[in-house]
Each structure stands twice: as structure tokens, then as C-alpha cells.
Amino acid sequence: MFTDPLPGPTTGFWIANDDIGVLRAIEGSTADFVGIDCQHGIGDHILRRMLEIRSSVPRYVRVADSSAQKIGYALDLGADGIIVPMVNSVEQAKMVTRAAHYPPRGDRSYGPVSPWLSRDVAELDSRVTILVMIETECGLRNAEAILNVDGIDGCYVGPADLGISLGHGANQFPPSEPMRTALSRIADAAQRTRKVAGLHAGDAALAGTFRELGFTMLTLANGERLVSSGIEQQLKASGAEAHSATTNSPY
């Protein structure tokens, strides 16, 4: 849960497959957070192993959908927060907060799993951060009202999905002019509602551009791309021929 004053600029990475080693490397770095992708990336089965060891780097799980089952499962395993895809309305945002909190705030079912998790309901309830993904034309229209929902800590924008929904295409790295306008609207809505504005920057070199638009919480790359660029860098440093298959992927 983010409290006022909101955190300053933060930078994180995604884990999109079963790279527990890369996850531990990110957790041992100065990254501010890690996103674990259970929507397009890894399946739920590996999540338990990923979260069974405590980390001082917050781990936000992107759940597959906004169902109470997916949200409860990630939190029971010890996610510090959830990133919920495709949140388009106030009603959906309210359902998400209810699924993430125990009564009286919500209707989450009790079942902490990871050994290091507290068994105290109030303590468990207070550690949950909720980020909703604004990534459709409808979500953009309702962004301010969604962010205003009590219990929503902020938004996280998926530029590819938002670009597709607005008819500008998936490749928004760097963002086109109409995309910049849309992104500014979301960042401004977050500022007005005193919530965090997050976004996938897709490239470390674009971090400054997105920070200027008002996004404070950025992800730069996923584990596969981190490993890939590390391999390329090592080969180059040794004087060997260096190229990599995935370095140019936006995730």
C-alpha cells in the first residue's frame, strides 16, 4: 500500500518466464521492484517457488485477470502487490479492491501460504498494493474515476495494448505524438488523484521521456532481455562476435 507522500521515481524489471535465478539477481540488485508476469508469462505453478523466500525488493504479480481467485492466489503466496490487466471501469476497480482485502474492506478468503508471511489478518491486509492497468480506450476515458477508487494505489500502463486499442499499433517505443497525449492524460489523472503512475518503458533509454510525461514507476525490460544483453556485453568485451536474438525485444 502506498502512503502519502507517494514514493519518488522507482525503476523495476519483469520476470516473464521461470527464471528464478534472474529473479534472485534482480532482488539482489538496487532495482526498486520486480514485476512477475502471470498474464502473458509464467504460469501460476512456479509462482509459489518464486515467492517462498522473502525479499526486500517488492514483488508485484501481474495476475492473469481481475478474478478474485487469481488475485487471492497471488497474495496468498506473498506478492507485495498485484498488477491487474485491462481495468476499464470503476465497478471493475472496486471488485479488484474487494478481492484483495479481507472483511470489512473486502471479501478475500484467508489462506496465507508462504512461510514468512504473517498470519495476522490486519497485517496481511495492510501490505497489499493494488495497481490497475489502464490499457484500453475505455480505461483511458475512465482513468481518473478508476484511480479515484479507494484502495487503488496507482495505475500501470501497457503501451502496446493501449496503442492497439487507440488504433496506433503496438510499437510505441518511443511513443507517437497521439500516444504521448494519451499517456499525459493518464499521468495527469494520477497526479490529480494522488496515485502512482506506472508504465512499461520498454527501453532504459526511454526512461527520461516517460518520466517527463509524468510516470514515476517504470519497468525497463524482462529477465530474458536482461540476460540477453548481458551475454552480448560479455562477448563484446572479450572481442568475440556478439549479437543476441532477444536484445531488441521491447519486453
Report the interface residues with ligand LCEJXURD, using CB under 6 A: 14, 40, 135, 158-161, 200, 251
User: Which residue, 14 or 33, has its beta carbon nearer to ligand LCEJXURD?
Assistant: 14
The upper half-sphere exposure of residue 148, i.e. CA atoms within 13 Å in the direction of its Cβ, equals: 10
DSSP structural state of residue 242:
-
CB of 147 to ligand LCEJXURD, least distance (A): 18
Residue with smaller CB distance to ligand LCEJXURD, 85 or 106: 85
For the bound state, the minimum distance from the C-beta of residue 183 to ligand LCEJXURD, rounded and expressed in Å, comes to 12
Please confirm, yes or no, whether 40 is among the known catalytic residues. Answer: yes
Return the number of the residue (81 or 159) whose C-beta is nearest ligand LCEJXURD.
Answer: 159
Query: Closest CB to ligand LCEJXURD belongs to which residue?
Result: 158
Residues 6+ apart with CB under 8 A from 203: 173, 220, 221, 250
Kindly tell me which of 13 and 73 has the beta carbon lying closer to ligand LCEJXURD.
13
Place of cell 479488484: 96
Buried/exposed 150-176: b ≥16 CB within 10 Å, e otherwise: ebbbbbbbbbbbbbbbbebeeebbebe
Do 158 and 37 contact (CB within 8 A), yes or no?
no
Which residues does the annotation mark as catalytic? 40
